[in-house]
């Protein structure tokens, strides 16, 4: 049971973090039809801004500064780059953000070097929130989860309870009608892009202090985020939330499993044969924890190609 | 892509290109022959990739999967031959790569082609990532983290110990594969792939099984990618799991679009040029990948049809008068581009030197003072405003020239090369 509770807690926190990044991505896609490939790289910029601020002025200014700076980057990219290639189609926009991701990663390497930096939370946050079965559970994990939940609540209220949210939701379904009613659609797009990028930046600043901050975090996190949006269904916030939690739980559970297919076959007397065959049969879920999200994605694609909450095309 | 008969002029060009490729290893030094092998492999990879992208409109971010599988299949075969487990002539090793690419392409393609557009791109990316995370833990198949290495065996009177033998082997396979890829675009299925790119719904309503067709086109693209991977394995005699990395998939996308995905030979051109530049500049600067990214974004923003598209636009309507009119605007473009490039390179290289460990050590030796740093044989003082005014002047001058150059070029284009407005 100890393993179960700890895994659930870790999985939920990891999932909420994934959701913070994928929420912006899926929001932008639902509205503008642009798949922002660079989104996870915005997350990386956020982490590095947090790192720089912690070194110079402090942890909290970094937490506030990261979403603002990354959001501003988002505005500039949307206004001066994406809008320019919009006429060439969505594939072109995807490729442009792909190139931007490439540039961001290389710029980070240029300024901070090829190796991970030691971005750490302030000392006064390094304490155990509670003790569970003799293990101290770090407070910072709860903090990350808290930030993600409050962000989700804020976003939800903003989208469903305010006039701005009303226009944003309307612009997703009937853009030309919204425009005809006198709303400035390009500004709405820019705003959504900025908020999405800012969320990724905030997530980076928060999570970078706990997980390693390095030039590879864009690729590593980026593929996970893409899996989340495919599993959840592109453009669906609820789907992204469910998929994030699912993937968070899946990875945290598979880390703890140390039995393999061979052991399973051993129950029916085929264990020795399986160990002889080797290969996939002797792989333990713990060693392939990094692959489980992708396997989950294949499973979802087989059963429900549109994603969990996606619309059928 | 419009199917036209090959013009005599194009035939002459192709023949000339082939002749140059045949003769060049006899004149070039060994390291250049090696570079040429890598360029041809990259070109084939890009051509195979653009069969899925350019023809069928399937943007794959995970083609390194089939590249890597082709390479590993070839290496396993080479290893078996080396241990005399079976007889297989070295020149035919890429056949296994093709088979590995085809089979994995059918399996993976069946999943990926369930969806189209951006979904497809992400699913292919995730599939390649699946292999990338799985490979280092799967010792028997992918040799763990260190990978597999082996030796080329002599066969058919060739020793294959010499780079030139490998060169001609690669050339033969690349030419054969290129011809196959080109011929495929003219088969009914190739036409169907283009039709699906333009309007999948309509093709479906015409009674075609689009999922099956997309899977097959994808598998054929993967098959030739596998050939490219196998050729790489033959040339390098070793590989490890990093061949599956997102970096490899990314570079083929970059190269294809720099070359121009809308033309048949554009991707090959882009791949060859970028591989060549990478070879030269990676010795000079560590920031090569940054420059490649900048070039890519620049092309996406300003020349969306790529280098190949630009060339074919001029080749279609080349007459002397138009060329003469274009000379001045192009000179302006080149000048402004050069100024901006110098400015950017100056800043990037300066930053790189100033943040490098050697410079930090120099500063330490000088008691923490910001000592001058050397760039291109000159000494610059990092604190003096004069140093930073150099790139500023270059960048400002280039940016000031840019709108003028653009306007002039567009004016002449509209006059001399109608129906080619960018």
The predicted-structure confidence for A18-49, as pLDDT tens digits, reads as follows 888 888 888 888 777 788 888 888 888 888 88
**Chain B closest-CA separation from residue A124 CA (Å):** 31
- Residues of chain B neighbouring A294 (CB-CB closer than 8 A): 126-127, 129-130, 133
Instruction: Give the whole-number percent of chain B exceeding pLDDT 90.
Output: 0
Residues A99, B57: C-beta atoms closer than 8 Å:
no
Within 10 angstroms of residue B408's Cβ, the number of other Cβ atoms is 17
A229 reaches B (C-beta below 8 A): yes
Residues B118, A302: C-beta atoms closer than 8 Å:
no
The answer on pLDDT for B392 being more than 50 is yes
- Residues of chain A neighbouring B57 (CB-CB closer than 8 A): 91
DSSP state of B378: E
A187 reaches B (C-beta below 8 A): no
Provide the token pair at B100: 């590995």
Whole-number pLDDT of residue B422: 41
B243 reaches A (C-beta below 8 A): no
- Residues of chain B neighbouring A90 (CB-CB closer than 8 A): 117-118
The predicted-structure confidence for A218-227, as pLDDT tens digits, reads as follows 777 887 888 8
- List the 260-289 stretch of B: residues with Cβ below 8 A of A: 287, 289
- Residues of chain A neighbouring B134 (CB-CB closer than 8 A): 288, 291
**Chain B closest-CA separation from residue A181 CA (Å):** 31
Whole-number pLDDT of residue B369: 66
Provide the token pair at A159: 């989208």
What's chain B's average pLDDT? 78
> Interface pTM (ipTM) of the complex?
0.77
DSSP state of B53: I
- A95 closest CB neighbour out of B117, B300, B351: B300
Closest CA to B97 of B234, B218, B214: B234
Q: What is the dihedral of CA B163, B166, B168, B170, to 10 degrees?
A: -130
- B133 closest CB neighbour out of A85, A279, A291: A291
The predicted-structure confidence for A253-309, as pLDDT tens digits, reads as follows 776 665 555 555 555 555 555 555 555 555 555 556 667 777 777 777 777 767 677
Average pLDDT over residues B189-217: 82
The predicted-structure confidence for B126-174, as pLDDT tens digits, reads as follows 788 788 877 777 766 777 677 777 777 677 766 666 777 778 888 888 8
The predicted-structure confidence for A114-157, as pLDDT tens digits, reads as follows 777 777 777 666 666 666 666 667 777 788 888 888 888 888 88
| Contact call for residues A210 and A140 (beta carbons, < 8 A) | yes
A283 reaches B (C-beta below 8 A): yes
DSSP state of B374: E
Residues A295, B118: C-beta atoms closer than 8 Å:
no
What is the per-residue burial (b if ≥16 Cβ within 10 Å, else e) of B151-176? ebbebeebebeebebbbbbbbebbbe
Which among A117, A221, A294, A304 is the top mutation candidate for probing chain B, defined by the most B β-carbons within 10 Å of its own β-carbon? A294
Residues A85, B301: C-beta atoms closer than 8 Å:
yes
Strand-pair category, A135-138 with B238-239: unpaired
With cut-offs at 50, 70 and 90, classify the pLDDT of residue B421: very low
Whole-number pLDDT of residue A192: 86
Which among B122, B197, B267 is the top mutation candidate for probing chain A, defined by the most A β-carbons within 10 Å of its own β-carbon? B122
| 3-state SS record for chain A | CHHHHHHHHHHHHHHHHHHHHHHHHHHHHHHHCCCCCCHHHHHHHHHHHHHHHHHHCCHHHHHHHHHHHHHHHHHHHHHHHHHHHHHHCHHHHHHHHHHHHHHHHHHHHHHHCCCCECCCCCHHHCCEEEEECCEEEEHHHHHHHHHHHHHHHHHHHHHHHCHHHHHHHHHHHCHHHHHHCCCCHHHHHHHHHHHHHHHHHHHHHHHHCCCCECCCHHHHHHHHHHHHHHHHCCCCHHHHHHHHHHHHHHHHHHHHCCCCHHHHHHCCCCHHHHHHHCHHHHCCCCCCHHHHHHHHHHHHHHHCCCCCCCCCC
Cα dist from A227 to A92, A222, A233, B249, whole Å: 21, 9, 10, 17
Scan for tokens 């946050």, then name that residue: A125
Closest CA to B55 of B196, B204, B253: B196
**Chain B closest-CA separation from residue A279 CA (Å):** 6
């Amino acid at each position: 049971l100890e393993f179960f509770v700890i895994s659930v807690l870790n999985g939920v926190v990891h999932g909420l973090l994934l959701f913070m990044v994928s929420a912006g991505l899926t929001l932008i896609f639902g509205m503008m039809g642009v798949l922002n490939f660079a989104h996870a790289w915005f997350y990386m910029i956020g982490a590095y801004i947090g790192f720089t601020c912690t070194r110079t002025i402090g942890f909290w200014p970094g937490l506030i500064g990261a979403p603002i700076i990354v959001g501003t980057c988002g505005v500039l990219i949307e206004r001066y780059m994406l809008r320019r290639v919009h006429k060439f189609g969505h594939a072109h926009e995807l490729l442009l953000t792909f190139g931007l991701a490439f540039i961001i990663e290389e710029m980070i390497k240029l300024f901070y070097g090829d190796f991970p930096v030691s971005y750490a939370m302030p000392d006064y946050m390094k304490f155990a929130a509670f003790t569970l079965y003799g293990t101290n559970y770090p407070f910072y994990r709860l903090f990350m989860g808290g930030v993600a939940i409050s962000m989700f609540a804020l976003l939800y209220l903003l989208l469903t309870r305010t006039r701005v949210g009303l226009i944003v939701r309307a612009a997703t379904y009937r853009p030309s009608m919204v425009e005809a009613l006198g709303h400035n659609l390009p500004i709405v797009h820019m705003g959504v892009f900025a908020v999405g990028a800012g969320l990724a930046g905030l997530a980076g600043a928060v999570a970078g202090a706990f997980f390693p901050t390095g030039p590879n975090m864009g690729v590593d996190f980026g593929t996970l985020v893409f899996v989340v949006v495919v599993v959840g269904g592109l453009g669906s916030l609820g789907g992204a939330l469910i998929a994030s939690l699912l993937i968070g739980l899946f990875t945290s559970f598979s880390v703890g499993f140390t039995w393999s297919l061979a052991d399973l076959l051993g129950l029916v007397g085929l264990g020795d044969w399986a160990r002889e065959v080797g290969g996939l049969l002797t792989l333990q879920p713990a060693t392939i924890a990094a692959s489980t999200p992708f396997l989950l994605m294949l499973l979802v694609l087989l059963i429900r190609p549109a994603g969990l909450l996606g619309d059928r095309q | 892509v419009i199917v036209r008969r090959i013009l005599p002029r194009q035939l002459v060009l192709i023949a000339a290109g082939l002749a140059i490729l045949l003769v060049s290893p006899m004149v070039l030094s060994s390291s250049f022959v090696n570079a040429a092998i890598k360029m041809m492999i990259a070109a084939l990879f890009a051509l195979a990739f653009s069969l899925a992208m350019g023809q069928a409109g399937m943007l794959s971010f995970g083609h390194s999967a089939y590249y890597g599988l082709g390479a590993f299949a070839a290496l396993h075969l080479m290893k078996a031959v080396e241990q005399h487990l079976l007889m297989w002539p070295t020149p035919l090793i890429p056949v296994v790569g093709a088979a590995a690419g085809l089979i994995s392409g059918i399996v993976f393609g069946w999943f990926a082609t369930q969806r189209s557009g951006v979904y497809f791109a992400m699913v292919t990316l995730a599939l390649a990532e699946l292999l990338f995370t799985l490979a280092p833990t799967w010792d028997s198949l992918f040799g763990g983290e260190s990978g597999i290495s082996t030796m080329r065996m002599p066969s058919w009177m060739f020793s294959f110990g010499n780079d030139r033998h490998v060169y001609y082997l690669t050339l033969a396979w690349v030419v054969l594969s290129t011809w196959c890829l080109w011929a495929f675009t003219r088969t009914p299925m190739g036409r169907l792939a283009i039709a699906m790119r333009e309007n999948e719904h309509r093709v479906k309503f015409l009674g075609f099984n689009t999922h099956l067709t997309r899977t097959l086109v994808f598998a054929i693209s993967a098959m030739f990618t596998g050939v490219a991977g196998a050729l790489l394995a033959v040339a390098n005699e070793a590989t490890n799991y990093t061949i599956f990395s997102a970096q490899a998939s990314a570079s083929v996308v970059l190269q294809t679009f720099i070359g121009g995905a809308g033309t048949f030979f554009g991707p090959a051109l882009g791949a060859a040029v970028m591989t060549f530049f990478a070879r030269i500049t990676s010795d000079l600067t560590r920031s090569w990948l940054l420059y490649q990214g900048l070039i890519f974004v620049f092309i996406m923003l300003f020349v969306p049809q790529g280098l190949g598209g630009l060339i074919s636009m001029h080749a279609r309507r080349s007459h002397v008068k138009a060329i003469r009119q274009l000379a001045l605007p192009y000179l302006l473009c080149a000048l402004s581009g050069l100024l901006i490039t110098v400015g950017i390179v100056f800043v990037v290289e300066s930053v790189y030197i100033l943040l490098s460990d050697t410079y930090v050590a120099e500063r330490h030796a000088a008691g923490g003072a910001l000592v001058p740093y050397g760039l291109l044989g000159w000494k610059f003082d990092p604190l003096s405003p004069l140093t930073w005014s150099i790139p500023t002047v270059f960048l400002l001058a280039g940016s000031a020239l840019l709108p003028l150059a653009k306007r002039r070029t567009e004016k002449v284009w509209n006059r001399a090369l109608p129906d080619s407005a960018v």
